[in-house]
Structure 1
Amino acid sequence: MLWRVTAGPGHRVLPDGAVDLLWWRERLVVAGPDTRAVLVDAEPGEEVAGLRLPPGAVAEVLGVPASELVDTRPELAGLVGHRAADPGRPPADVGELLERVLVGLWRRADPDLAALRLAAAVDRRLAAGMPVAAVATGLGLPLRTLHRVALRAFGHAPQTLARIRRVQRALDLARRGTPLARVAVDAGYTDQAHLTREVTRFAGLPPRRLLRS
Protein backbone atom coordinates (compact mmCIF):
# COMPACT_ATOMS: atom_id res chain seq x y z
CA MET A 1 0.00 0.00 0.00
CA LEU A 2 1.42 3.36 -1.08
CA TRP A 3 0.90 6.36 1.17
CA ARG A 4 1.96 10.00 1.36
CA VAL A 5 1.81 12.43 4.23
CA THR A 6 2.59 16.11 4.57
CA ALA A 7 4.47 16.34 7.83
CA GLY A 8 5.82 19.15 9.97
CA PRO A 9 7.82 19.68 13.15
CA GLY A 10 6.76 17.17 15.79
CA HIS A 11 4.64 15.03 13.44
CA ARG A 12 3.64 12.04 15.57
CA VAL A 13 3.86 8.52 14.12
CA LEU A 14 2.16 5.80 16.17
CA PRO A 15 3.19 2.14 16.34
CA ASP A 16 1.24 0.13 13.80
CA GLY A 17 2.97 -3.25 13.68
CA ALA A 18 4.22 -2.61 10.16
CA VAL A 19 7.43 -1.90 8.25
CA ASP A 20 7.56 0.73 5.50
CA LEU A 21 9.94 1.56 2.68
CA LEU A 22 10.25 5.36 2.65
CA TRP A 23 11.49 7.94 0.18
CA TRP A 24 12.53 10.77 2.46
CA ARG A 25 14.95 13.59 1.69
CA GLU A 26 16.13 11.87 -1.48
CA ARG A 27 16.97 8.64 0.36
CA LEU A 28 15.46 5.17 0.57
CA VAL A 29 14.87 4.39 4.24
CA VAL A 30 13.32 1.41 6.01
CA ALA A 31 11.04 2.38 8.89
CA GLY A 32 11.27 -0.54 11.30
CA PRO A 33 8.49 -1.56 13.69
CA ASP A 34 7.96 0.94 16.49
CA THR A 35 7.37 0.21 20.15
CA ARG A 36 6.44 3.81 20.97
CA ALA A 37 5.36 6.98 19.22
CA VAL A 38 8.00 8.70 17.08
CA LEU A 39 8.12 12.47 16.64
CA VAL A 40 9.38 13.13 13.12
CA ASP A 41 11.91 15.93 12.69
CA ALA A 42 10.29 17.32 9.55
CA GLU A 43 10.22 20.77 8.00
CA PRO A 44 6.84 22.52 7.73
CA GLY A 45 4.99 21.08 4.74
CA GLU A 46 7.61 18.40 4.08
CA GLU A 47 6.24 15.40 2.18
CA VAL A 48 7.12 11.83 3.07
CA ALA A 49 6.11 8.96 0.79
CA GLY A 50 6.11 5.32 1.80
CA LEU A 51 5.22 1.84 0.67
CA ARG A 52 3.79 -0.48 3.31
CA LEU A 53 5.54 -3.85 3.13
CA PRO A 54 3.33 -6.96 3.31
CA PRO A 55 3.42 -8.84 6.63
CA GLY A 56 6.66 -10.80 6.87
CA ALA A 57 8.27 -9.17 3.83
CA VAL A 58 11.03 -7.46 5.78
CA ALA A 59 12.49 -10.85 6.70
CA GLU A 60 11.72 -12.68 3.47
CA VAL A 61 12.56 -9.89 1.00
CA LEU A 62 15.15 -7.77 2.79
CA GLY A 63 16.70 -10.74 4.57
CA VAL A 64 16.57 -9.09 7.99
CA PRO A 65 14.31 -10.27 10.83
CA ALA A 66 11.96 -7.47 11.81
CA SER A 67 13.15 -7.85 15.40
CA GLU A 68 16.52 -6.40 14.34
CA LEU A 69 14.89 -3.23 13.02
CA VAL A 70 12.74 -2.32 16.02
CA ASP A 71 12.70 1.45 16.65
CA THR A 72 15.21 2.09 13.84
CA ARG A 73 15.22 3.94 10.49
CA PRO A 74 18.20 2.50 8.56
CA GLU A 75 18.95 3.35 4.95
CA LEU A 76 17.96 0.54 2.60
CA ALA A 77 21.47 0.33 1.13
CA GLY A 78 22.85 -0.60 4.54
CA LEU A 79 20.60 -3.67 4.59
CA VAL A 80 20.73 -4.96 1.01
CA GLY A 81 23.76 -3.25 -0.50
CA HIS A 82 24.05 -0.15 -2.67
CA ARG A 83 23.46 -1.98 -5.95
CA ALA A 84 20.20 -3.62 -4.87
CA ALA A 85 18.99 -0.38 -3.27
CA ASP A 86 19.87 1.87 -6.22
CA PRO A 87 16.63 3.57 -7.29
CA GLY A 88 18.12 4.75 -10.57
CA ARG A 89 16.96 8.09 -11.88
CA PRO A 90 14.08 9.24 -9.65
CA PRO A 91 10.87 9.43 -11.73
CA ALA A 92 8.35 12.20 -11.41
CA ASP A 93 6.16 9.80 -9.41
CA VAL A 94 7.80 8.70 -6.15
CA GLY A 95 5.28 5.89 -5.84
CA GLU A 96 6.61 4.40 -9.07
CA LEU A 97 10.14 4.56 -7.67
CA LEU A 98 9.19 2.75 -4.47
CA GLU A 99 7.28 0.06 -6.32
CA ARG A 100 10.14 -0.47 -8.77
CA VAL A 101 12.67 -0.89 -5.96
CA LEU A 102 10.42 -3.31 -4.06
CA VAL A 103 9.76 -5.41 -7.18
CA GLY A 104 13.51 -5.62 -7.81
CA LEU A 105 14.18 -6.71 -4.24
CA TRP A 106 11.34 -9.24 -4.40
CA ARG A 107 12.73 -10.88 -7.55
CA ARG A 108 16.23 -10.92 -6.11
CA ALA A 109 15.10 -12.53 -2.84
CA ASP A 110 12.67 -15.17 -4.17
CA PRO A 111 10.79 -15.09 -0.83
CA ASP A 112 9.20 -18.05 0.92
CA LEU A 113 5.53 -17.57 0.01
CA ALA A 114 4.37 -19.98 2.72
CA ALA A 115 6.10 -17.81 5.34
CA LEU A 116 4.43 -14.70 3.90
CA ARG A 117 1.00 -16.38 3.96
CA LEU A 118 1.52 -17.43 7.57
CA ALA A 119 2.55 -13.91 8.60
CA ALA A 120 -0.52 -12.48 6.85
CA ALA A 121 -2.77 -14.99 8.63
CA VAL A 122 -1.31 -14.07 12.01
CA ASP A 123 -1.76 -10.38 11.27
CA ARG A 124 -5.39 -10.74 10.16
CA ARG A 125 -6.36 -12.69 13.26
CA LEU A 126 -4.66 -10.37 15.73
CA ALA A 127 -6.04 -7.29 13.94
CA ALA A 128 -9.53 -8.76 14.35
CA GLY A 129 -9.01 -9.04 18.10
CA MET A 130 -8.55 -12.81 18.33
CA PRO A 131 -6.71 -13.85 21.53
CA VAL A 132 -3.12 -14.97 21.01
CA ALA A 133 -3.82 -18.51 22.23
CA ALA A 134 -6.73 -18.80 19.80
CA VAL A 135 -4.53 -17.57 16.94
CA ALA A 136 -1.97 -20.27 17.72
CA THR A 137 -4.64 -22.96 17.96
CA GLY A 138 -6.37 -21.83 14.78
CA LEU A 139 -3.12 -21.96 12.82
CA GLY A 140 -2.00 -25.24 14.37
CA LEU A 141 1.08 -23.67 15.95
CA PRO A 142 2.60 -24.10 19.40
CA LEU A 143 2.72 -20.78 21.25
CA ARG A 144 6.53 -20.78 21.09
CA THR A 145 6.43 -21.14 17.31
CA LEU A 146 3.90 -18.32 17.00
CA HIS A 147 6.20 -16.19 19.15
CA ARG A 148 9.16 -16.85 16.82
CA VAL A 149 7.06 -16.21 13.72
CA ALA A 150 5.79 -12.89 15.10
CA LEU A 151 9.24 -11.66 16.12
CA ARG A 152 10.69 -12.48 12.70
CA ALA A 153 7.77 -11.08 10.70
CA PHE A 154 6.68 -8.09 12.83
CA GLY A 155 9.44 -7.40 15.35
CA HIS A 156 6.96 -7.81 18.21
CA ALA A 157 5.87 -10.70 20.38
CA PRO A 158 2.30 -11.67 19.46
CA GLN A 159 0.98 -10.22 22.72
CA THR A 160 2.58 -6.85 21.95
CA LEU A 161 1.31 -6.87 18.38
CA ALA A 162 -2.18 -7.64 19.69
CA ARG A 163 -1.98 -4.64 22.03
CA ILE A 164 -0.88 -2.36 19.19
CA ARG A 165 -3.71 -3.59 17.00
CA ARG A 166 -6.22 -3.03 19.81
CA VAL A 167 -5.03 0.56 20.27
CA GLN A 168 -5.49 1.07 16.53
CA ARG A 169 -9.05 -0.26 16.71
CA ALA A 170 -9.80 1.95 19.70
CA LEU A 171 -8.47 5.09 18.03
CA ASP A 172 -10.42 4.34 14.86
CA LEU A 173 -13.60 4.20 16.94
CA ALA A 174 -12.72 7.37 18.85
CA ARG A 175 -12.00 9.31 15.64
CA ARG A 176 -15.51 8.46 14.46
CA GLY A 177 -16.90 10.21 17.52
CA THR A 178 -17.58 7.19 19.72
CA PRO A 179 -17.42 8.20 23.42
CA LEU A 180 -14.28 6.90 25.10
CA ALA A 181 -16.20 4.86 27.66
CA ARG A 182 -17.92 3.05 24.79
CA VAL A 183 -14.63 2.73 22.90
CA ALA A 184 -13.13 0.94 25.90
CA VAL A 185 -15.96 -1.61 25.92
CA ASP A 186 -16.05 -2.16 22.16
CA ALA A 187 -12.25 -2.51 21.87
CA GLY A 188 -12.11 -5.02 24.71
CA TYR A 189 -10.50 -3.01 27.50
CA THR A 190 -11.35 -3.60 31.14
CA ASP A 191 -12.49 0.01 31.52
CA GLN A 192 -11.72 3.53 30.30
CA ALA A 193 -8.70 3.80 32.59
CA HIS A 194 -7.24 0.69 30.96
CA LEU A 195 -7.81 2.25 27.53
CA THR A 196 -6.09 5.45 28.65
CA ARG A 197 -3.05 3.57 29.96
CA GLU A 198 -2.64 1.57 26.76
CA VAL A 199 -3.04 4.54 24.42
CA THR A 200 -0.60 6.56 26.51
CA ARG A 201 1.88 3.67 26.51
CA PHE A 202 2.02 3.46 22.71
CA ALA A 203 1.07 6.97 21.59
CA GLY A 204 2.79 9.02 24.28
CA LEU A 205 -0.41 10.99 24.97
CA PRO A 206 -3.72 10.10 26.63
CA PRO A 207 -6.63 9.62 24.21
CA ARG A 208 -8.26 13.05 24.51
CA ARG A 209 -4.99 14.94 23.99
CA LEU A 210 -4.01 12.66 21.14
CA LEU A 211 -7.31 13.18 19.35
CA ARG A 212 -6.97 16.96 19.69
CA SER A 213 -3.38 17.01 18.42
Structure 2
Amino acid sequence: MAFRTCPPPLTLQPMVRELWLLNDGGEMSAGLPKPYVELVVSLTGRHWWRATPDGQEHLYTESWVTPLQDRPRYARAEGGRRLMGARLEPWLATALFGPLSPGDGRPPPKLHDLLGEDAASLRSALVEAPDEATAFERFGTWLERRVAESAADIAFCVDTLSDRSTRRRYAREIGVSPKRWRLLHRLDRVLRDPELARAGRSFAHLAQDHGFSDQAHLCRELMRLTGSTPSRLRRRDRNDPPHLVRQD
Protein backbone atom coordinates (compact mmCIF):
# COMPACT_ATOMS: atom_id res chain seq x y z
CA MET A 1 0.00 0.00 0.00
CA ALA A 2 1.21 3.51 -0.84
CA PHE A 3 -0.46 6.65 0.49
CA ARG A 4 0.57 10.21 -0.21
CA THR A 5 -0.92 13.56 0.76
CA CYS A 6 -0.47 16.97 -0.81
CA PRO A 7 -1.49 20.39 0.55
CA PRO A 8 -4.18 22.14 -1.50
CA PRO A 9 -3.50 25.47 -3.24
CA LEU A 10 -3.11 28.34 -0.79
CA THR A 11 -6.48 29.81 -1.73
CA LEU A 12 -8.19 26.57 -0.69
CA GLN A 13 -6.38 25.82 2.55
CA PRO A 14 -9.11 27.26 4.83
CA MET A 15 -11.61 24.97 3.07
CA VAL A 16 -9.69 21.82 2.07
CA ARG A 17 -7.69 19.78 4.59
CA GLU A 18 -5.55 17.95 2.03
CA LEU A 19 -5.42 16.15 -1.30
CA TRP A 20 -4.41 12.50 -1.25
CA LEU A 21 -3.49 9.53 -3.44
CA LEU A 22 -3.94 5.87 -2.51
CA ASN A 23 -2.49 2.86 -4.34
CA ASP A 24 -2.98 -0.72 -3.19
CA GLY A 25 -4.09 -4.16 -4.30
CA GLY A 26 -7.74 -3.52 -3.54
CA GLU A 27 -8.07 -5.74 -0.46
CA MET A 28 -11.09 -5.22 1.80
CA SER A 29 -10.52 -2.27 4.12
CA ALA A 30 -12.50 -0.16 6.56
CA GLY A 31 -12.70 3.58 5.99
CA LEU A 32 -12.91 5.31 9.38
CA PRO A 33 -15.09 8.32 10.23
CA LYS A 34 -13.49 11.74 9.85
CA PRO A 35 -14.64 15.36 10.23
CA TYR A 36 -14.39 16.00 6.49
CA VAL A 37 -16.44 15.24 3.40
CA GLU A 38 -14.42 13.20 0.90
CA LEU A 39 -14.42 13.86 -2.84
CA VAL A 40 -13.01 10.64 -4.32
CA VAL A 41 -11.99 9.93 -7.92
CA SER A 42 -11.10 6.43 -9.12
CA LEU A 43 -8.16 6.30 -11.53
CA THR A 44 -8.09 2.50 -11.84
CA GLY A 45 -10.10 -0.43 -10.55
CA ARG A 46 -13.71 -1.47 -10.00
CA HIS A 47 -14.69 -0.46 -6.49
CA TRP A 48 -17.22 -2.13 -4.24
CA TRP A 49 -18.64 -0.28 -1.23
CA ARG A 50 -20.67 -1.68 1.66
CA ALA A 51 -22.04 -0.29 4.93
CA THR A 52 -21.04 -3.31 7.04
CA PRO A 53 -18.46 -6.09 6.58
CA ASP A 54 -21.15 -8.53 5.43
CA GLY A 55 -23.59 -6.00 3.94
CA GLN A 56 -24.86 -5.55 0.39
CA GLU A 57 -22.19 -4.37 -2.06
CA HIS A 58 -22.59 -1.38 -4.37
CA LEU A 59 -20.41 -0.85 -7.44
CA TYR A 60 -18.51 2.45 -7.71
CA THR A 61 -16.35 2.85 -10.79
CA GLU A 62 -15.65 6.55 -11.32
CA SER A 63 -16.09 9.19 -8.62
CA TRP A 64 -18.23 9.88 -5.57
CA VAL A 65 -18.69 12.11 -2.52
CA THR A 66 -18.58 10.50 0.92
CA PRO A 67 -20.46 12.53 3.56
CA LEU A 68 -19.59 12.58 7.25
CA GLN A 69 -19.91 8.98 8.42
CA ASP A 70 -21.39 7.68 11.67
CA ARG A 71 -19.20 4.53 11.72
CA PRO A 72 -16.71 2.59 9.56
CA ARG A 73 -17.61 1.78 5.96
CA TYR A 74 -16.01 -1.01 3.93
CA ALA A 75 -14.61 -1.22 0.42
CA ARG A 76 -12.62 -3.43 -1.90
CA ALA A 77 -11.51 -3.15 -5.51
CA GLU A 78 -10.99 -5.46 -8.46
CA GLY A 79 -7.89 -4.86 -10.54
CA GLY A 80 -6.08 -2.90 -7.84
CA ARG A 81 -7.07 0.39 -6.31
CA ARG A 82 -5.80 3.81 -7.31
CA LEU A 83 -7.80 6.67 -5.86
CA MET A 84 -7.34 10.41 -5.61
CA GLY A 85 -9.30 12.41 -3.09
CA ALA A 86 -9.82 15.76 -1.42
CA ARG A 87 -10.92 16.24 2.19
CA LEU A 88 -13.36 19.14 2.28
CA GLU A 89 -14.76 21.15 5.16
CA PRO A 90 -18.44 20.16 5.43
CA TRP A 91 -19.73 23.67 4.73
CA LEU A 92 -17.66 23.80 1.52
CA ALA A 93 -19.10 20.46 0.39
CA THR A 94 -22.62 21.82 0.97
CA ALA A 95 -21.83 24.87 -1.16
CA LEU A 96 -20.29 22.80 -3.97
CA PHE A 97 -22.68 19.86 -4.10
CA GLY A 98 -25.83 20.92 -2.26
CA PRO A 99 -27.22 19.11 0.79
CA LEU A 100 -25.77 15.62 1.18
CA SER A 101 -27.58 12.64 2.66
CA PRO A 102 -26.37 11.61 6.13
CA GLY A 103 -23.59 9.05 6.25
CA ASP A 104 -25.86 6.51 7.91
CA GLY A 105 -25.17 3.48 5.73
CA ARG A 106 -26.65 4.64 2.45
CA PRO A 107 -24.26 4.50 -0.54
CA PRO A 108 -22.42 7.79 -1.10
CA PRO A 109 -23.73 9.90 -3.99
CA LYS A 110 -21.90 9.64 -7.29
CA LEU A 111 -20.20 12.81 -8.44
CA HIS A 112 -21.81 12.63 -11.88
CA ASP A 113 -25.25 12.78 -10.26
CA LEU A 114 -24.20 15.98 -8.46
CA LEU A 115 -22.20 17.79 -11.16
CA GLY A 116 -23.00 16.16 -14.48
CA GLU A 117 -20.30 16.09 -17.15
CA ASP A 118 -17.87 18.14 -15.07
CA ALA A 119 -17.32 14.98 -13.02
CA ALA A 120 -16.12 13.14 -16.12
CA SER A 121 -13.88 16.09 -17.05
CA LEU A 122 -12.17 15.93 -13.67
CA ARG A 123 -11.57 12.21 -13.88
CA SER A 124 -10.20 12.45 -17.43
CA ALA A 125 -7.78 15.19 -16.39
CA LEU A 126 -6.47 13.10 -13.50
CA VAL A 127 -6.26 9.81 -15.42
CA GLU A 128 -4.36 11.48 -18.27
CA ALA A 129 -1.89 13.32 -15.99
CA PRO A 130 1.69 12.22 -16.82
CA ASP A 131 2.74 12.06 -13.14
CA GLU A 132 1.45 12.45 -9.60
CA ALA A 133 2.56 16.07 -9.23
CA THR A 134 0.61 17.06 -12.33
CA ALA A 135 -2.44 15.13 -11.13
CA PHE A 136 -2.39 16.96 -7.79
CA GLU A 137 -1.98 20.29 -9.60
CA ARG A 138 -4.93 19.56 -11.89
CA PHE A 139 -7.08 18.47 -8.96
CA GLY A 140 -6.29 21.70 -7.10
CA THR A 141 -7.01 23.82 -10.17
CA TRP A 142 -10.36 22.08 -10.71
CA LEU A 143 -11.31 22.71 -7.08
CA GLU A 144 -10.29 26.37 -7.33
CA ARG A 145 -12.57 26.80 -10.34
CA ARG A 146 -15.51 25.11 -8.64
CA VAL A 147 -14.99 27.25 -5.52
CA ALA A 148 -14.87 30.45 -7.61
CA GLU A 149 -18.12 29.46 -9.33
CA SER A 150 -19.76 28.76 -5.95
CA ALA A 151 -18.51 31.87 -4.13
CA ALA A 152 -22.02 33.14 -3.33
CA ASP A 153 -23.13 29.76 -1.95
CA ILE A 154 -19.95 29.51 0.14
CA ALA A 155 -20.53 32.96 1.63
CA PHE A 156 -24.12 32.01 2.45
CA CYS A 157 -23.04 28.78 4.19
CA VAL A 158 -20.41 30.60 6.26
CA ASP A 159 -22.86 33.34 7.26
CA THR A 160 -25.51 30.78 8.15
CA LEU A 161 -23.16 28.81 10.38
CA SER A 162 -21.68 31.85 12.09
CA ASP A 163 -25.18 33.14 12.90
CA ARG A 164 -26.72 29.81 13.95
CA SER A 165 -29.05 30.03 16.92
CA THR A 166 -29.64 26.37 17.69
CA ARG A 167 -27.78 23.08 17.58
CA ARG A 168 -30.48 21.73 15.33
CA ARG A 169 -29.70 24.33 12.68
CA TYR A 170 -25.99 23.52 12.91
CA ALA A 171 -26.73 19.82 12.49
CA ARG A 172 -28.90 20.55 9.45
CA GLU A 173 -26.18 22.59 7.71
CA ILE A 174 -23.17 20.42 8.62
CA GLY A 175 -24.72 16.98 8.88
CA VAL A 176 -23.74 16.24 12.50
CA SER A 177 -24.19 17.92 15.86
CA PRO A 178 -21.48 20.31 17.13
CA LYS A 179 -20.58 17.80 19.86
CA ARG A 180 -20.06 14.96 17.40
CA TRP A 181 -18.13 17.17 14.98
CA ARG A 182 -15.70 18.07 17.78
CA LEU A 183 -15.37 14.37 18.63
CA LEU A 184 -14.56 13.53 15.00
CA HIS A 185 -11.83 16.19 15.05
CA ARG A 186 -10.32 14.69 18.22
CA LEU A 187 -10.43 11.24 16.63
CA ASP A 188 -8.78 12.67 13.49
CA ARG A 189 -5.90 14.05 15.59
CA VAL A 190 -5.40 10.72 17.38
CA LEU A 191 -5.33 8.74 14.12
CA ARG A 192 -2.80 11.15 12.61
CA ASP A 193 -0.56 11.21 15.69
CA PRO A 194 2.69 9.26 15.05
CA GLU A 195 2.70 8.43 18.76
CA LEU A 196 -0.31 6.16 18.25
CA ALA A 197 1.98 3.59 16.61
CA ARG A 198 4.64 3.78 19.34
CA ALA A 199 4.15 0.98 21.84
CA GLY A 200 5.89 2.97 24.56
CA ARG A 201 3.32 5.77 24.41
CA SER A 202 0.39 5.00 26.67
CA PHE A 203 -3.20 5.56 25.64
CA ALA A 204 -3.57 7.62 28.80
CA HIS A 205 -1.05 10.12 27.42
CA LEU A 206 -2.78 10.12 24.03
CA ALA A 207 -6.08 10.81 25.75
CA GLN A 208 -4.56 13.75 27.59
CA ASP A 209 -2.93 15.10 24.42
CA HIS A 210 -6.14 15.07 22.38
CA GLY A 211 -8.89 16.21 24.74
CA PHE A 212 -10.33 12.93 26.03
CA SER A 213 -11.14 12.73 29.72
CA ASP A 214 -9.04 9.62 30.35
CA GLN A 215 -7.72 6.43 28.74
CA ALA A 216 -11.05 4.62 29.11
CA HIS A 217 -12.86 7.46 27.33
CA LEU A 218 -10.40 7.41 24.42
CA CYS A 219 -10.47 3.62 24.05
CA ARG A 220 -14.27 3.53 24.23
CA GLU A 221 -14.65 6.15 21.49
CA LEU A 222 -12.02 4.48 19.29
CA MET A 223 -13.91 1.20 19.50
CA ARG A 224 -17.29 2.83 18.89
CA LEU A 225 -16.25 5.00 15.95
CA THR A 226 -13.70 2.78 14.19
CA GLY A 227 -14.90 -0.73 14.98
CA SER A 228 -11.29 -1.64 15.83
CA THR A 229 -9.57 -2.07 19.16
CA PRO A 230 -6.95 0.53 20.08
CA SER A 231 -4.28 -2.19 19.95
CA ARG A 232 -5.38 -3.11 16.41
CA LEU A 233 -5.08 0.52 15.34
CA ARG A 234 -1.63 0.66 16.92
CA ARG A 235 -0.43 -2.37 14.94
CA ARG A 236 -1.24 -0.88 11.52
CA ASP A 237 1.55 -0.54 8.98
CA ARG A 238 3.14 2.90 9.12
CA ASN A 239 2.45 3.36 5.39
CA ASP A 240 -1.29 2.90 5.86
CA PRO A 241 -3.52 5.99 5.68
CA PRO A 242 -4.59 7.23 9.11
CA HIS A 243 -8.29 6.67 8.34
CA LEU A 244 -8.07 3.15 6.91
CA VAL A 245 -7.82 -0.28 8.51
CA ARG A 246 -7.17 -3.32 6.35
CA GLN A 247 -9.47 -6.24 7.03
CA ASP A 248 -7.85 -9.64 7.59
User: What band does the TM-score fall into relative to the shorter chain?
Assistant: 0.7 to 0.9
Q: AA paired with 1:209?
A: R
- TM-score, structure 2 as length reference: 0.64
Residue 226 of structure 2: aligned partner: 203
Residue 132 of structure 1: aligned partner: none
SS of the residue corresponding to residue 152 of structure 2 reads coil
- TM-score, structure 1 as length reference: 0.73
Residue 126 of structure 1: aligned partner: none
Distance 1:170-1:109 versus aligned 2 partners, 3 A rule = closer
Structure 2: state its 5+ residue gaps: 1-17, 45-60, 237-248
Distance 1:28-1:97 versus aligned 2 partners, 3 A rule = farther
Residue 41 of structure 1: aligned partner: 76
Structure 1 position 186, deviation (Å): 2.9
Distance 1:60-1:206 versus aligned 2 partners, 3 A rule = same
Corresponding position: 1:86 with 2:120: yes
Output aligned runs, 1:1-213, within 5 Å. Answer: 1-7=18-24, 8-24=26-42, 25=44, 27-43=62-78, 45-63=80-98, 65-66=99-100, 68-71=101-104, 72-80=107-115, 82-87=116-121, 89-90=124-125, 91-92=128-129, 93-115=134-156, 117=158, 141-142=164-165, 144=166, 146-153=167-174, 155-171=175-191, 172=193, 174-175=195-196, 177=198, 178-213=201-236
Report Cα offsets for 1:77-112 as digits up to 9, x if no partner. 1123x2343316433144345335434433443333
SS of the residue corresponding to residue 121 of structure 2 reads coil
Equivalents in 1 of 2:81, 2:221: separation in Å? 30
Equivalents in 2 of 1:110, 1:180: separation in Å? 43
Distance 1:102-1:22 versus aligned 2 partners, 3 A rule = same
> How many residues are matched?
189
Distance 1:116-1:37 versus aligned 2 partners, 3 A rule = same
What CA RMSD, in Å, does the superposition of the two structures yield over aligned residues?
A: 2.9
Equivalents in 2 of 1:27, 1:101: separation in Å? 16
Structure 1: state its 5+ residue gaps: 123-138
Distance 1:174-1:44 versus aligned 2 partners, 3 A rule = farther
Q: Specify which structure has the higher proportion of helix.
A: 1
